[in-house]
Structure 1
Amino acid sequence: MAFKNEVEAVNELSRKFDQLRSEVKKRIYGQDEIIDQVLVAMFSRGHCLLIGVPGLAKTLLVNTISEVLGLQYKRIQFTPDLMPSDIIGTEILDKDREFKFIRGPIFSNILLADEINRTPPKTQAALLEAMQERSVTAAGQKYELDKPFFVLATQNPIEQEGTYPLPEAQLDRFMFSIWLDYPKFEDELTIVRNTTSDFSTRLNEIISKEEIRYFQELVMKVPVNENVLKYAVGLSAKTRPNTELAAPISNKYLKWGAGPRASQYLVLGAKTLAALQGKYSPDIEDIKKVAISILRHRVIKNYKAEAENLSVEDIITELMK
């Protein structure tokens, strides 16, 4: 892609973002903030965990986004009997009696891990290397994944029968933990009207794989002022109970705080958000806009917070004041 300078490139990214949003909203109603967060994660090279009750269009959202991004999309339904080889792939003996590696669904650009908490930790762990290194190892051989690569996982928060909580190391690999809520009345009216009639939408591909990779590199070049950097690192440090920089509310209500990956994602998320809005450098407000989704799955409440019915979001909001 040829631009005169990086300012022109940021302007084009902002224009593409507006187009992407408009295109996705043709099919997904009333989830504007969720759409924005998923797109921010993608341009930041991050992964998303989408949490919400059944029927909130989590799978449709992922499907729609893959369509407008023009990326290869694969879905895995996570079940208790799913094996790591079902994700990564397996070696078979071919007709020449030589081992041949058959690639699994992880070899895609967007992987939808549907109901990720329904499979045992051994299988969940098969995603760890792919999410961090963008590669997988099978039978001692390393295979690079096609870039860009995103994992968008869904989870049902209410039905806990037969589920396996995600290990902390796995949760930490997700840039955002996004909670989906019920649609507003007017939005639900539109959803029902369109889905119970012969209404259909044809989506256009807005951006290519090569453009996504270019803009991901561009985001890394966005400059960050020292005060914004210090705010991001300071916010993560405040969540760590019984440490030098811990906030009083963290000492009182948190059992565990966010690690350095949270600080990295706060800065990356703010840089991406700023660029998508046509700004050339992020400010503290951009950090605050991404903070809850980045920190909510990285801090653990103690029994006192549970007893006082205090949510993780309440604590993070207090820390940002």
Structure 2
Amino acid sequence: MTVRPMNPGEESTVASLIHRSTNSWYQSKLGYEIFTGKPEDTRIFTDTYEVLDPGCCLVAELEGKVAGSCFYHPRESHVGLGIMNVLPDFAGKGVAKALLEEIIGKAGELPVRLLSSAMNLDSYSLYTKAGFAPVAVYQDMRMPAGHTLPPPPAGPGSVRMANTGHLFGMVDLEAEIAGISRSKDLSHFLRSQGNHWTTFVHVDASGKIDGWLASIDHPGCQMIGPGVMRDENAAMALIHMQLSQARSGNPVFLIPTHETILVAELYRWGARNVELHFAQVRGNSSPPGGIIMPSFLPESG
């Protein structure tokens, strides 16, 4: 087996691998597919990550084929481990383990952070055996198709469309709440406003940012997140605003299971659970100072 960076021109190969591997697991274990569009739609992952972190997609080559892939995201405070996939034909051959060991080696002393499905015990075992530990549980939620939202929640502060002038405030807030810094990702959201990405900030009465929430609307990924908020008031206002946007699909959003007030309000709005995910960290992590909503793209939080 050879672990190497993805070569130029292999983007569609890796996108097809992501599509086939993910759908194969979900279809066999849970009876449905995550990616309902074309394999080429999942190029949103390779294309986004090559913009953010050129050369940071690793592939495992086995028997002359690209058998697996994984992305990693070096950031100021940590290394994010992105979507990992192995073709069903090569299951049980140590492909994921080889990719993970390579990324852990590249991280050095920095913590490595990831999201993993709580439904996939093989994945859970892979990471915990490598020294990762769950630090939070998230329930993946979605509004029923065609569902009508209640009126926006009343509360102090207001929601505004984010712009590049908000970048430093957003970065500082995430550092305070989540204990991480990833200005590259936040800058990408703001530069891409209107091009699949939509980002809002919530400001308090003094005009200070106390929450922000991004989303992506693309055939390969329809999701609300990532984002951070000081409290339930900012979270509810931002989630409602994102859910109110015209979209081509029905986005998923991840809510911390321990945020019972927020979860109860979302149930009242009509939200339903889809899946569970663990946030896992290898290395140091700090308790959250507010509400954290992670995402699968980019997975550097």
Q: TM-score range by the shorter chain?
A: under 0.3
TM (norm. structure 2) is 0.28
Structure having the higher Rg: 1
Structure with greater strand percent: 2
Structure with greater helix percent: 1
